[in-house]
């Protein structure tokens, strides 16, 4: 059997059980521990692909605190790599729970270098990815995560400047 790559393993472990039975508690505990271990081992030199793997792993609403390790891991990346990696994760961002996509986008918007690299990479996305990401940003700007004046409007796209 082929050994899983780090991106594949953190993705699999990020799918923490959401129901509470004895069987899912055992499986959940195993996945939780491995997920935290994988995220804690991130040093920040894993590149844009590493950022994308972490974003893609934020798959469930109730993480029981495991995803805090992933958010901390994202903070270890150089800001320009972090911003570009988040933009490259447009499809993943649209598919993960809104609380996690909002949190990640807020982290990008708070630092000028990550916002700048996000915007640069945003411009290189396919039109359908740009539209999906623009909709997600609009949603978060009208709701909780990107609503405050200090971050609202920081994540512009080519769609904002026709």
Domain positions in the chain: 6-154
Whether the model clears a pTM of 0.85, i.e. scores above it, the answer is yes
Catalogue the long-range contacts made by 90-95 (C-beta closer than 8 Å, 24 or more residues apart).
Answer: 90/122, 90/125, 90/129, 90/130, 90/132, 90/133, 91/129, 91/132, 92/52, 92/55, 92/56, 93/55, 93/133, 93/136, 94/132, 94/133, 94/135, 94/136
Model confidence pLDDT, tens digit, residues 91-131: 999 999 999 999 999 999 999 999 999 999 999 999 999 99
């Amino acid at each position: 059997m082929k050994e899983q790559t780090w991106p594949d393993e953190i993705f699999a472990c990020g799918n923490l059980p959401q129901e509470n039975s004895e069987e899912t508690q055992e499986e959940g505990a195993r996945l939780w521990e491995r997920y935290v271990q994988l995220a804690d081992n991130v040093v920040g030199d894993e590149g844009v692909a590493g950022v994308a793997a972490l974003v893609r792993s934020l798959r469930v609403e109730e993480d029981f605190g495991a995803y805090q390790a992933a958010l901390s891991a994202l903070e270890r990346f150089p800001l320009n790599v972090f911003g570009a990696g988040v933009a490259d994760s447009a499809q993943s961002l649209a598919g993960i729970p809104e609380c996690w996509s909002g949190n990640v986008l807020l982290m990008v918007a708070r630092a000028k270098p990550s916002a700048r690299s996000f915007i640069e990479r945003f411009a290189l996305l396919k039109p359908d990815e740009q539209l999906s990401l623009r909709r997600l940003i609009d949603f978060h700007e009208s709701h909780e995560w990107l609503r405050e004046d200090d971050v609202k409007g920081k994540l512009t796209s080519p769609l904002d400047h026709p």
